[in-house]
Amino acid sequence: MKKKILVTGGAGYIGSVATYMLLKEDYEVVVIDNLTTGYQQPLAFFEKKYSKKQFRYYKADIKKSLESVFKKEKNIDAVLHYAASCSVNESVENPPKYFSNNVCGSQNILAAMLKFAVKKIVFSSTSEVYGESKYYPVDEKHSMNPNNPYGLSKRIVEQMIESYGDLMGMRYVIFRYQNVCGASDDGVIGDSKNPSVHLVQNAVRGALGIEPFYLTCPTVNTKDKSPIRDYVNIVDLNRAHIMALKYLDSKGKSTILNLGTGTGNSVLEIVDMVKEITGVGFPVKRGNARKGEPAVKYADIKKAKKVLGWKPERTMRDSVESLVAWYKKHPGGWQK
């Protein structure tokens, strides 16, 4: 069995797929989640499928002391830190929640890591730390100007990790994500947020008749008048995290990397693709348009390719097909 990895937020969308992939690769996995936005069902699935020696779960809030978990789970090799509140719109409406969960919660994790000599972390950050793009594709040298509390909270945590790296010997890989889509390749683990904040998920839900689909993007100056975004498959994304663990194991230097596809798809292109794949010409209704949406945004991923040897392997079609498989089995997602 490989090394022991602590996964925060392992009952959520990205964290549960990460846990599934780690277990498949024979890592020993310990999950922390308070189930506020995560779900018990994927954890129960892991407990049934894998032995207690390989998988364990603790219901714990990262805003509170985690020392009891670290004390019980000796010899944690590294932390994959996914746990966070992650809605831009909600962060504007409720900033205290974002600074409490994302900043204070992360400080609790980092403090416990340092006390128990866990010196490796892979952190789930966001392209929102860049703010409005001055150019694209956006590379890691782009200026930092987060324009919402979500992006700011993630940037603060990045700086905390960098500081602990400089002063306390913590080693890290920080990933700045673009838009995440898809489910596990076998369609077993997927997105249960309801309503979802993700375009691809919502379009598939609309095609399958789970709920009406609404366009919430503004009209912008692109070919089809809809915004262009970078949609990265969740398995590709988490594969980068596992590669980062191996990179840190091999004494790789701490680094910050973008994760995306390096290209963009327009919102209407995605909708048309979902219609074509599902064979359903579902109605597309106009909802309230989000404000402050840039016309084009996608990542430069050359650094991730250079440092980790990572590149996306799954197509947008793969992402849509895995979501169709997931939602056909779980039209309402995991149930609370």
Q: Using one digit for the tens of pLDDT, what is the confidence trace for 307-333?
A: 999 999 999 999 999 999 999 999 999
| Contact between residue 123 and residue 68 where contact means Cβ atoms under 8 Å apart | no
CATH of the domain at 173: 3.40.50.720
10 Å Cβ neighbour count for 215? 18
pTM above 0.85, yes or no: yes
Q: Which domain holds residue 87?
A: 4-182+232-261+299-312
Give the span between the Cα atoms of 132 and 197, in whole angstroms: 20
Query: What pLDDT shows up at residue 249?
Result: 97
Separation CA 14–CA 84 (nearest Å)? 11
Buried b (16+ CB within 10 A) or exposed e, 67-89: eebbeebeebbbbbbbbbbbbbe
Q: Is residue 240 part of a domain?
A: yes
Most confident range, picked from 175-189, 211-225, 279-293:
175-189
Does residue 219 belong to any structural domain of this protein? Answer: no
- Number of neighbours of residue 182 by Cβ within 10 angstroms: 29
pLDDT value at 290 more than 90: no
The DSSP string of 62-124 is TTS--HHHHHHSTT--EEEE------HHHHHH-HHHHIIIIIIHHHHHHHHHHHTT--EEEEE
Please determine, for residue 277, whether its predicted confidence score (pLDDT) is greater than 90. yes
In a domain, 242, yes or no: yes
Confidence of residue 292 (pLDDT cuts 50, 70, 90): low
Alpha carbons 11 and 31: distance in angstroms, whole number: 8
CA dihedral 324, 277, 186, 213 (to 10 degrees): -20
135 within some domain:
yes
Q: Match 């992650």 to its residue by tokens.
A: 86
Q: Per the domain annotation, does 269 fall within a domain? A: no
- What whole-number distance in Å separates Cα of residue 236 and Cα of residue 180? 10
Average pLDDT over residues 32-54: 97
- In sequence order, the 6+-apart residues with CB closer than 8 A to the CB of 137 are 262, 298, 299, 300, 301
Note whether residue 48 is domain-resident: yes
Q: Is residue 218 situated within a structural domain?
A: no
> Model confidence over 72-120: pLDDT tens digits?
999 999 999 999 999 888 999 999 999 999 999 999 999 999 999 999 9
Number of independent structural domains in the chain? 1
**What whole-number percentage of the chain has pLDDT above 90?**
88
At 57 the three-state DSSP class reads strand
Average pLDDT value for residue range 55-71: 96
Q: Is residue 125 in some structural domain?
A: yes
User: Residue 4: helix, strand or coil by DSSP?
Assistant: strand
pLDDT in the model for residue 335: 85
Contact between residue 58 and residue 32 where contact means Cβ atoms under 8 Å apart = yes
204 pLDDT band (50/70/90 cuts)? Answer: very high
Tell me the catalytic residues: 150
Lowest average pLDDT, out of 64-73, 202-211, 293-302, goes to 293-302
49: Cβ contacts below 8 Å, ≥ 6 apart: 23
